[in-house]
Structure formats: C-alpha cells, structure tokens
Amino acid sequence: MKIIFLGTNGWYSTRHANTSCILIKTDNFNLVLDAGDGLYKLDKYIDDDKPVYIFLSHLHLDHVIGFHILNKFRFKKPLEIFGYIGTRQGLNTLLQHPFTASIEELPFSLKIHEVNEGSHDIPLPFMSLLLKHADPCIGYRFSIDDKIITYCTDTGECENLYLLASNADLFISESSYKPEQVEWEWPHLNPETAAMIAKRSNVKQLILTHFDAELYNTPESKVEAENRARRLFPTTIIAHDDLELKI
C-alpha cells in the first residue's frame, strides 16, 4: 500500500502546496481523502482499472474545489464519492453551471453516497464520526490490508478524535495552527496537540498535514512544527506535496 500526498495546505494553495488531497493506492482500489485542488495530480499516479473512491471530510471549498476539474479524468469505472449527510445536495449545487461542468456532462459515471456516524462495510470497512469544526465535518478510520489508517482534518480536540485514532497504524492529522497557538475562530489543532492525541491513542505513526497557508508560509515553519511534535511523539512526519510513503 502506498500513500501519496497530492495537497497538504489548508485554506488556499501556494507555490509550495495545493489544498488537501491524499491518495491511498492499494491492490484493489484507489482511495482519495478529500478533493482539494491537489486532485488535479491524480492521473499522474493512477493508470489502472481499479475503482476510485473519494471520501470527503466536509464541504469547505479547500476540500472540494478539485472537483472543478473532474472532466479532465477518464475513469473506467464509476467514480464513487462518500461524505456526511448533506454531501449530495452540496455537490449537486457545486457540480453544475454556472460554477463548473455539470455531473451529466462528465465523461464517466459518478455516484454520491451519504454516510452517517458509525461503522460501515461498503466499499471497505471504515468508521466515520463527527469532529469539532465550524460546519459538519467527519473523521475516518479505515481498515485496509490489516492496517488501520485514521484521517482527521479541520477539527479541535474532541472525544471522537481519540476514538478514531485508537491504536491506529497511521494517524493522518491536521495541523492548521502553529506551535503553542490556542484556538482562534474555527477549531483546529496545533502540532503539539496532534502529537499528544497520537501518544494517548497509542498510534504507531503520526503524519501532520493541512497546514494553514497563511500561518505556515515558509519551509522553516513546518520544520519547527515537526520538531515541536516530535518532542511529544517521536514518530511524527510532516507531509509535503508529492510525499510518498509505503506502509
């Protein structure tokens, strides 16, 4: 299994990074976490007949703006999108004139699935729970090839974070705030809090992503975040665009 970070910024893109999008390549399917504008790179990494599943955390534009270029792709199987209640209505509004090409104009079939909180078995075993954010946002816990991969973004500290991260092999967490920054306006995490959650949850590996583009505007700022997180949780990695990992 390979994990490729197509976009690691939150809020907006810069010359260093696109907004949130992560590809997990497996033997049986391609799993995409969020659809920020890093989504445009997807065809650089997939060239097979495996199904593509996109799991959305929420509908803020930095997580769905990549859908603007969907008609670039030529998926051979229906593209299936999963998200919380309200995702179908939101995407039916966004994927329509005058914003972009309509769903009916796409050169492939598209299916939108809404999931509530709880455990699910289709299209793969996963758990989804609501997180703490300004609008409904869910985190995911996937079971893939005997590994547990947790993905949580756009959230403050909450009980569901711990439930999703518990004993995970890989915890992909947001780190929008800078070190020591306390909650400001919308709930998010700083690197120390993400590391504390990973430690308390007995996680094996922590990867920080979704860096606020305004706050993390130099490479050095991300290095500092990594150093701060590693003081609490040594097996922390800072994600950057096009980072590839095998687990």
Q: Which structure tokens are listed for 18?
A: 């696109």
Q: Looking at the whole model, is its pTM more than 0.95?
A: yes
Q: Give the tens place of pLDDT for each residue, 18-30.
A: 999 999 999 999 9
Q: SS3 letters for the chain?
A: CEEEEEECEECCCCCCCCECEEEEECCCCEEEECCCHHHHHHHHHCCCCCCEEEECCCCCHHHHHHHHHHHHCCCCCCEEEEEECCHHHHHHHHCCCCCCCCHHHCCCCEEEEEECCEEECCCCCEEEEECCCCCCCEEEEEEECCEEEEEECCCCCCHHHHHHHCCCCEEEEECCCCCCCCCECECCCCHHHHHHHHHHCCCCCEEEECEECCCCCCHHHHHHHHHHHHHHCCCEEECCCCCEEEC
For the beta carbon of residue 246, count every other beta carbon within 10 angstroms: 7
- What structural domains does the chain harbor? 2-246 (3.60.15.10)
Q: Give the tens place of pLDDT for each residue, 42-78.
A: 999 998 899 999 999 999 999 999 999 999 999 999 9
- State the amino acid at position 56 in one-letter form: L
Q: Give the tens place of pLDDT for each residue, 176-220.
A: 999 998 877 789 999 999 999 999 999 999 999 999 999 999 999
